[in-house]
Amino acid sequence: MKQTGYIEHQGIVTQVNENSLSVSLINTSSCSGCHVKGFCHVSDVDNKSVEVLHTANNNISKGDKVIVNYERILGPLALLLGYMVPFFLMIAVLVISLTMSGNEAVSGLLSLVILVPYYITLFFFRDSLKTRFAFTIRTIKNQSV
């Protein structure tokens, strides 16, 4: 299977707003072709909804079938910003404050408090992050829903 720079999923447009679309992704698992899937506890269909920014020149309406694209490189970057940086920030503050003060309670509290400015900073940059971590879409022509 050829690896591309994008992750692609088929979806159906469920809502059209002024500058965004809501797309319901249909993700079928590998057991969808299994003949005993009715007796299995594993769910074979998982529906997710994503918000896709779009411009007014796209002629997309509710019910259209689309392909939603997401850059592969952005997955690890989101993981880094959302989990890894806060984790290492907490550990660094814990070790430094424990070394300097010797008080475990204060060090533990400081390591948790340091997350507040980090997530406030992410909150202030949410608009640029939203455009950076954006989904793109393209329509599927001549296919029924």
Dihedral through CA 59, CA 63, CA 65, CA 71, nearest 10? 70
* Tens of pLDDT, residues 51-73: 777 665 567 778 888 888 878 88
Distance CA 86, CA 79 (A): 10
Q: Specify the pLDDT at position 42.
A: 46
Checking if the pLDDT of 104 tops 60, the result is yes
For residues 9 and 58, the model is more confident at 9
Distance CA 28, CA 32 (A): 7
Strand partners, 24: 12, 49
The domain spans of the chain are 6-139
Distance CA 9, CA 15 (A): 17
Task: Report residue 98's pLDDT band, with 50, 70 and 90 as the boundaries.
Answer: very high
If you average pLDDT over every residue of the chain, what do you get? 79
Please give the average per-residue pLDDT across 33-58, as a whole number. 60
- Look at the domain 6-139 and name its fold: OB fold (Dihydrolipoamide Acetyltransferase, E2P) (2.40.50)
Q: Are strands 65-71 and 6-16 parallel, antiparallel or unpaired?
A: antiparallel
Distance CA 90, CA 111 (A): 5
